[in-house]
């Protein structure tokens, strides 16, 4: 199992009558990845995770978890854990008792890992409190504790930071980062761009049920290219010079003053610098500006036809 790819998805589709929720998705998550599965609400992320965990059957395509098909054998979920949408617990029982019930179902020494799991997610001091009194963030952390009982090599999390306050989001990011540092592979479904940008080394951006981009964040930024910020003593003159310069395009007023522009090459930027000096305009700042994940996300997800399919199926359960 150690030599197999944690997640290998090919041609994955899910339709509900005329509605296509997931459309021909290919996905590869490598060992050690913190992989962001990123898209707007209704893009098919949750439906995809349900198929990956074997909770619903694909209309077409295949899923392999460490080389095994969760639709064929329950052994495909060995070393795999997580939750889809919100984790569910008995609200009238305390956190530890809920974990004890889950450990009894899992077996395999899971009961001996309860204290360790509670410690990892920072709930050891609240383990005797009823889950009904937990905050949303605490229930999310208890869901991860339940997943850790299985000592997973692969963790699938569906929107783990949704609904959390800023402190809760920070704690969730720290927890996922710690799990990754321990060697766990994580697939993180989210629509929170800052969360993905802060945590993930590779991403897939989905729209209307299909994958618009898959790869590293660094490669995505390189493909998108970048712009430049120009601050000068005479922005009016600088704009006129820039608009007349070969290889300089998209000249605009900057949001915080100065000008922004795109350049076809470094030579075009050098030529612009020389032209500005010849015009008597002094350069105060000329620096590259890299596209943010937010810029790239909207560029990829908003370039779509009106009325495109992408709604997810109603909830059918979770896995931990």
Count of C-beta atoms within a 10 Å radius of residue 163: 14
Listed in order, the ranges of the chain carrying CATH 3.40.50.300 are: 7-79+152-221
Q: Which residues neighbour 145 within 8 Å (Cβ) at sequence distance 6 or greater?
A: 95, 99, 117, 118, 120, 121, 123
Domain spanning 226-290, CATH architecture: 2-Layer Sandwich (3.30)
β-sheet bridge partners, residue 228: 261, 288
CATH topology of domain 7-79+152-221: Rossmann fold (3.40.50)
**Full-model pTM:** 0.74
pLDDT of residue 98: 97
CA distance 194 to 72: 37
pLDDT of residue 318: 44
At 207, list the tokens.
């729209």
At 229, list the tokens.
């910020």
Distance between start and end Cα atoms, the chain? 20
Distances (CA, A) of 102 to 1, 97, 109, 146, 225: 25, 9, 12, 7, 48
pLDDT of residue 32: 93
pLDDT of residue 255: 67
3-state SS, residue 111: helix
Give residue-wise pLDDT tens across range 186-231. 999 988 787 888 889 999 988 888 888 898 877 776 666 568 889 9
pLDDT tens for the chain, 320 residues long, are 556 899 999 999 999 999 999 999 999 999 999 999 988 888 899 999 999 999 999 999 999 999 999 999 989 999 999 999 888 999 999 999 999 999 998 888 899 999 999 999 999 999 999 999 999 999 999 999 999 999 999 999 998 888 888 888 888 899 999 999 999 999 999 887 878 888 899 999 888 888 888 988 777 766 665 688 899 999 899 999 999 999 998 898 876 788 988 888 889 999 999 999 999 999 999 988 766 677 777 777 775 544 443 343 433 344 44
Residue 51, H or E segment: helix 45-52
From 94, 86, 99, select the one nearest 126 (Cα to Cα).
94
Check if the beta carbon of residue 226 is closer than 8 Å to that of residue 290.
yes
Using the Cα atoms of residue 139, residue 141, residue 147 and residue 149 in order, give the sign of their dihedral: negative
CA distance 255 to 248: 19
Query: CA 272, 278, 283 angle in degrees (round to 5)?
Result: 60
Query: CA 51, 52, 53 angle in degrees (round to 5)?
Result: 90
Distances (CA, A) of 53 to 43, 75, 200, 316: 18, 11, 21, 12
At 71, list the tokens.
């639709």
Residue 302, H or E segment: none
Q: Which residues neighbour 14 within 8 Å (Cβ) at sequence distance 6 or greater?
A: 20, 21, 22, 44, 47, 48, 51, 56, 58, 59, 209, 313
Listed in order, the ranges of the chain carrying CATH 3.30.70 are: 226-290
Angle between helices 95-106 and 136-148 (to 10 degrees): 30
3-state SS, residue 67: coil
From 28, 52, 61, 60, select the one nearest 204 (Cα to Cα).
28
């Amino acid at each position: 199992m150690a030599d197999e790819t944690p997640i290998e998805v090919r041609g994955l589709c899910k339709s509900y009558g005329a509605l296509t929720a997931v459309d021909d998705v290919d996905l590869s998550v490598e060992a050690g990845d913190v992989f962001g599965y990123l898209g707007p609400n209704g893009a098919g992320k949750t439906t995809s995770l349900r198929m990956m965990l074997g909770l619903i059957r694909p209309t077409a395509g295949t899923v392999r978890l460490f080389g095994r098909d969760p639709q064929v054998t329950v052994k495909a979920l060995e070393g795999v854990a997580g939750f889809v949408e919100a984790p569910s617990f008995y609200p009238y029982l305390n956190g530890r008792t809920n974990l004890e019930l889950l450990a009894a179902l899992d077996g395999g020494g899971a009961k001996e890992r309860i204290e360790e799991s509670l410690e990892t997610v920072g709930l050891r001091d609240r383990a005797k409190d009823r889950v009904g009194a937990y905050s949303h963030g605490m229930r999310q952390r208890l869901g991860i504790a339940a997943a850790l009982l299985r000592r997973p090599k692969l963790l699938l999390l569906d929107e783990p930071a949704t609904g959390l306050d800023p402190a809760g989001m920070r704690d969730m990011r720290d927890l996922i980062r710690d799990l990754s540092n321990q060697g766990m592979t994580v697939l993180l479904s989210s629509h929170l761009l800052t969360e993905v940008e802060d945590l993930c080394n590779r991403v897939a951006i989905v729209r209307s049920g299909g994958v618009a981009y898959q790869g590293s964040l660094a490669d995505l930024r390189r493909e998108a290219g970048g712009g430049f910020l120009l601050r000068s003593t005479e922005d009016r003159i600088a704009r006129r010079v820039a608009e007349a310069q070969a290889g300089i395009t998209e000249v605009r007023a900057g949001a915080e003053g100065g000008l922004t522009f795109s350049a076809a090459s470094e030579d075009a930027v050098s030529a612009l610098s020389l032209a500005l000096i010849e015009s008597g305009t002094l350069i105060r700042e000329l620096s590259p500006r890299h596209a943010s994940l937010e810029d790239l996300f909207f560029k990829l997800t908003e370039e779509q036809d009106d009325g495109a399919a992408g709604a997810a199926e109603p909830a059918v359960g979770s896995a931990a």
